[in-house]
Amino acid sequence: MTRGKFTVAGGGPVGSLLAILLGRHGYEVGLYEGRPDSRVTSIYQGKSINIALSDRGWTSLEQIGVGSDAKAEAIPMYHRAIHGVDGELSRLPYGKQGDAIWSVSRGGINEQLLDIADAEANITTHFEHWLVDVDFETAGTVFQVKRDQEITVEADYLFGADGAHSKVRRLAHNVS
């Protein structure tokens, strides 16, 4: 018996982490990612860049129990290096003495989160499902699955975790 049904649109770092937290709180979660599963298809083509995680990111990862494992692979960055036109190098610390932001593989952390999501009983993951429409009255969503195939998904709640150019946000504001 679950507490309610969530659709999470977007399986990036935010969507996959959110799905895990919701699933562990007893909700039924459908996690829908538009792109192919990077764990089976090399969508990064060797170009995945690192992202820098601050305390906010680590606090979230620690909540699902992967903070220390992920930190073991991370590279601390203590300051921004500024190269002056005169050739002088100065350093702008990211925090107090010893504070750092931590560089991690964006693809690596995302795939680790997807593995954890897949292992959760309440979560189903779906790839190559592009959100194309939302009924904001019912939280129902429409996903394009193949070039000419669409499926409708019913849920109690929808989270748009579909990135900076969020389709969910654009639909909410009537922007195509």
Ligand X SMILES: Cc1cc2nc3c(=O)[nH]c(=O)nc-3n(C[C@H](O)[C@H](O)[C@H](O)COP(=O)(O)OP(=O)(O)OC[C@H]3O[C@@H](n4cnc5c(N)ncnc54)[C@H](O)[C@@H]3O)c2cc1C
Should residue 131 be labelled a site residue for ligand X when binding is judged by CB under 6 A?
Answer: yes
Q: Least distance in Å: CB of 1 to ligand X? A: 28
User: Which of residues 13, 23, 30, 107 is near ligand X by CB under 6 A?
Assistant: 13
Largest alpha-carbon pair distance within the chain? 66
46 burial level (CB within 10 Å; 0-12, 13-18, 19+): exposed
Round to whole Å and give the CA distance between 165 and 34: 13
Round to whole Å and give the CA distance between 132 and 151: 10
Sole window of 6-14, 21-29, 64-72, 116-124 interacting with ligand X (rule: CB under 6 A): 6-14
Should residue 23 be labelled a site residue for ligand X when binding is judged by CB under 6 A?
Answer: no
**Residue ranges in 44-73 that form contacts with ligand X under rule CB under 6 A:** 51-52
Return the amino acid letter for 80. Answer: R
Q: Between 81 and 84, name the residue whose CB sits nearer to ligand X.
A: 81
**Residue ranges in 27-46 that form contacts with ligand X under rule CB under 6 A:** 32-35
Q: Between 85 and 100, name the residue whose CB sits nearer to ligand X.
A: 100
Residue nearest to ligand X (CB): 12
Contact 126, 30 (CB under 8 A): yes
Cβ-based neighbour number of residue 13 at 10 Å: 23
**Contact set with ligand X (CB under 6 A):** 9-15, 32-35, 51-52, 130-131, 161-163, 167
